[in-house]
Structure 1
Amino acid sequence: MSLAAPQVRCQEVPNVRQHLTALLVLPLLVLPAACATPDASAAPQPPTATSTPDPEQSYWPGQDEVLAAATVIDDHANARWSHVHAGVALDLPGQAVDVHRIPTPGFDAEIRSLVPSMKLRFVDANYSAVTIKGWAERIFEDRPYWQRRGVVIHGLVPEMGEYVEVEVAHPKRDAPLIKAHYSHMRLIVRQGWPAVDLTDG
């Protein structure tokens, strides 16, 4: 179960400017627990090691260890290998961490040495998290430029190590313009819609 980064709406400036790997991926894994019933006595208890995993359960055996390993890996890779590190994704049922990176000599062995007891899967990436983040930030900052040209950008969705998805009001019309303007970026332009404010009664 490889978790993709969630959608980043353009009005959410802090999210666009955050690290677009673990900071966007890891919170998804604790969300189900936070959304559980507020009655602690009625909350489901962590399953035993012999229990059968439930796809909808909010706690998995070994979850804390997987989360801890992913944090160690992401922090270390960002500090020492930011030019090749693309991010981490978690497989809680499989008790494993997927490490996305541009294949580089020495990286895999060093990461394995950090968490020798954790199951790791290395996934080839084309671009680092730093690169993907830079692309998303640049497009976000360019919104006034596009608005003056009648192009409405509704959202940005980073795909770990691969591309940035740009959500616009008129993708067929605007895709050639956007891709030509950012010819050095790998972008996918798709249909988007304005964000809905769920707090508005």
Structure 2
Amino acid sequence: MDGRNRMRTAGGVVAATAVALVAIQGSAAGTGGERAPVAEHTAVCSGTRPAHTLPGRESAVLRTAAYADRIGKGRHKNVYTGVSVDERHNAVDVYRIPSKAFDADLCAHAEKGLKVRIHDTDITERRLMAFVDEVGDDMDRWDGRFRLNQVGPDVHGYVVFGVDRPATAGPILEKAFGAFWARHIKVIRTETPSLG
């Protein structure tokens, strides 16, 4: 697991990847819903490279997602936000600040029969992770108003705050971090993490 795809939990434990947060985002409350920093897919390309058919290898969707993540954390780190897979529709969703170079690189690599759906965002994964680290270094700051149990990045361009009282936490977090971050904060209800 790449160290940049992490979630901070109460007690300072690094516990999960960004992909895990995507799976729970449907239970979000509080902030982020109507002001999503992500556009519906703004471009779609279909793969043209011959498909790999080696036995025992991962699917084309997973190979393409891994490639997007690799170049996104490498030569396109100044635009990359994240990636998710849609195995059912044989598609990969890629989130990035608009970049013709990144799109061309990614689409040229996609295998035949695969769709790559590209979404505009206004934030990079690196900036999300810097914010997660900043918040994670002072997780007890909110005690008395709400309990922050976990914080981590979401591939769509959010920072997910797992709290005990989302309705209370949402407005407090928006005010504390300002207008830009208010659009990138998603608050969900989570239980206190356990180490057992």
Aligned residue pair count: 155
CA–CA distance in structure 1, aligned partners of residues 85 and 58 of structure 2: 9
Quick one: structure 1 residues 116 and 175, their matched pair in 2 at CA, closer, same or farther if it must change by over 3 Å?
Answer: closer
Quick one: structure 1 residues 166 and 80, their matched pair in 2 at CA, closer, same or farther if it must change by over 3 Å?
Answer: same
CA–CA distance in structure 1, aligned partners of residues 116 and 187 of structure 2: 32
More off after superposition, 112-121 vs 126-135: 112-121
Tell me: higher relative CO, structure 1 or 2? Use CA pairs within 8 A at least 6 residues apart: 2
Match of residue 159 from structure 1:
154
The match for 2:185 among 166, 184, 187 is 187
Quick one: structure 1 residues 139 and 7, their matched pair in 2 at CA, closer, same or farther if it must change by over 3 Å?
Answer: closer
Pair 1:129 & 2:122 matched:
no
Quick one: structure 1 residues 189 and 73, their matched pair in 2 at CA, closer, same or farther if it must change by over 3 Å?
Answer: closer
Quick one: structure 1 residues 141 and 115, their matched pair in 2 at CA, closer, same or farther if it must change by over 3 Å?
Answer: same
* Cα offsets for 1:72-117 (capped at 9, x unmatched): 2211121111121111111223332221112223221121123353
Q: 1:11 offset after TM fit, Å?
A: 4.3
CA–CA distance in structure 2, aligned partners of residues 24 and 190 of structure 1: 10
The match for 2:139 among 126, 140, 143 is 143
Match of residue 81 from structure 2:
86
Q: 1:131 offset after TM fit, Å?
A: 1.9
Quick one: structure 1 residues 120 and 188, their matched pair in 2 at CA, closer, same or farther if it must change by over 3 Å?
Answer: closer
TM-score for the superposition, normalised by structure 1? 0.61
TM-score for the superposition, normalised by structure 2? 0.63
Bigger Cα Rg? 1
Pair 1:96 & 2:94 matched:
no
CA–CA distance in structure 2, aligned partners of residues 125 and 68 of structure 1: 23
CA–CA distance in structure 1, aligned partners of residues 171 and 93 of structure 2: 34
The DSSP-based 3-state class of the residue aligned with 2:14 is: helix
Quick one: structure 1 residues 144 and 119, their matched pair in 2 at CA, closer, same or farther if it must change by over 3 Å?
Answer: same
Match of residue 115 from structure 1:
110
More off after superposition, 5-14 vs 187-196: 5-14
Partner amino acid, structure 1, of 2:80: H
CA–CA distance in structure 2, aligned partners of residues 93 and 191 of structure 1: 28
CA–CA distance in structure 2, aligned partners of residues 188 and 92 of structure 1: 25
The DSSP-based 3-state class of the residue aligned with 2:159 is: strand
Partner amino acid, structure 2, of 1:145: R
CA–CA distance in structure 1, aligned partners of residues 62 and 12 of structure 2: 26
Quick one: structure 1 residues 24 and 154, their matched pair in 2 at CA, closer, same or farther if it must change by over 3 Å?
Answer: closer
Q: 1:63 offset after TM fit, Å?
A: 4.6
Partners of 1:126 and 1:161 within 8 A in 2: no
Partners of 2:10 and 2:150 within 8 A in 1: yes
More off after superposition, 6-15 vs 156-165: 6-15
Gaps of 5+ in 1: 26-61
CA–CA distance in structure 2, aligned partners of residues 188 and 116 of structure 1: 33
